Amino acid sequence: MSESGVAVVIEDDEDVRNLVDAILKEAGFVVHSASTGREGVEVVRDKHAAVVTLDVGLPDMDGHEVLRRIRQFSDAYVVMLTARNDEPDTLTAFLTGADDYITKPFLPRELRARITAMMRRPRGGGRQALPQEATGGRPVLPDGPDETVFKHNGLALNYKARMAALRGSVLMLTRSEFDLLFDLLRSNGEVRTRADLVRAARGSYYDDNAYISEADERAVESHIGNLRRKLGEDPQSPRFLQTVRGVGYRLAPKRPD
């Protein structure tokens, strides 16, 4: 097996499939491909894929359904590839568990750079089980250095352990959701623009001078919406994430316990 691991390309268009195959091989992956959703699910399962590129418009089933099936057994990095660029489709992809979303046509170097950035981030951002207390079996966050452990209004996050909990209950977050929550917590109430949060979610692929598209910002908004749902936020009185109209988001003020 290569140093990068196994990648699976699920794509019915032969030209696109061959292009993505070549990009991933150049990046050091052992690549397997499939032209249908059902075949792709089995290849991901059999080959223990580390990275999956997944076409939304497959001939036998919707790409979002393929992703739902993959997420039942795999925590692979998944990039959705689609010719559609509408907000509901993007939101569905992230709700289902996608790590990134790229519209066709795309530049080969963009796909490779995004995959490289994802691979630098720890896997399992918040999905793994938390340690249990000796009494009662409630999950708790392990102690850690002050700069990586944050607590706010009943929410606790340990960055090094990639763990988060709300009032003792595990938060099942995707990698991007975890990284956005960490960025907002460590900002300590400072406003984070959508561009700031794109960089937090995507890592080193986006430097300070990189162009950030409307699609990137919509993806951040989708992640924030998912976070609010998982945190059980009251839109009228948020405890964790506040919208700053026309700018971005910030951490809500602390409240008495």
Q: What are residue 221's DSSP bridge partners?
A: none
133 in a structural domain: no
* Domains contained in the chain, number: 2
Q: Do 166 and 93 share a structural domain?
A: no
101 or 78: which leads in pLDDT: 78
Q: Do 106 and 159 share a structural domain?
A: no
Indicate whether 123 pLDDT > 70.
no
Q: Do 151 and 50 share a structural domain?
A: no
CATH number at residue 202: 1.10.10.10
190 in a structural domain: yes
Amino acid at 69: R
Q: What is the pLDDT of residue 146?
A: 46
Instruction: Give the separation between CA 201 and CA 121, rounded to whole angstroms.
Output: 10
Domain that holds residue 190: 146-251
138 in a structural domain: no
16 in a structural domain: yes
Q: Determine what percent of the chain falls in helix, strand and coil, rounding each to the nearest 5.
A: 40, 20, 40
Note the pLDDT tens digit of each residue in 59-97: 999 999 999 899 889 989 999 998 776 656 676 777 677
Rounded to two decimals, the pTM is 0.58
Q: Do 35 and 83 share a structural domain?
A: yes
109 in a structural domain: yes
Contact between residue 36 and residue 124 where contact means Cβ atoms under 8 Å apart = no
The CA-atom distances, in angstroms, between 103 and each of 79, 85, 106, 201 are 10, 6, 6, 18
Note the pLDDT tens digit of each residue in 158-178: 887 788 889 888 888 888 888
How many secondary structure helices (H) and strands (E) does the chain include? 8, 12
- Label residues 29-50 b or e (16+ Cβ within 10 Å = b): bbbbbbbbbebbbebbeebebb
Q: What is the pLDDT of residue 10?
A: 97
Q: What is the pLDDT of residue 19?
A: 94
- Mark which of 67, 102, 120 sits at the end of a domain: 120
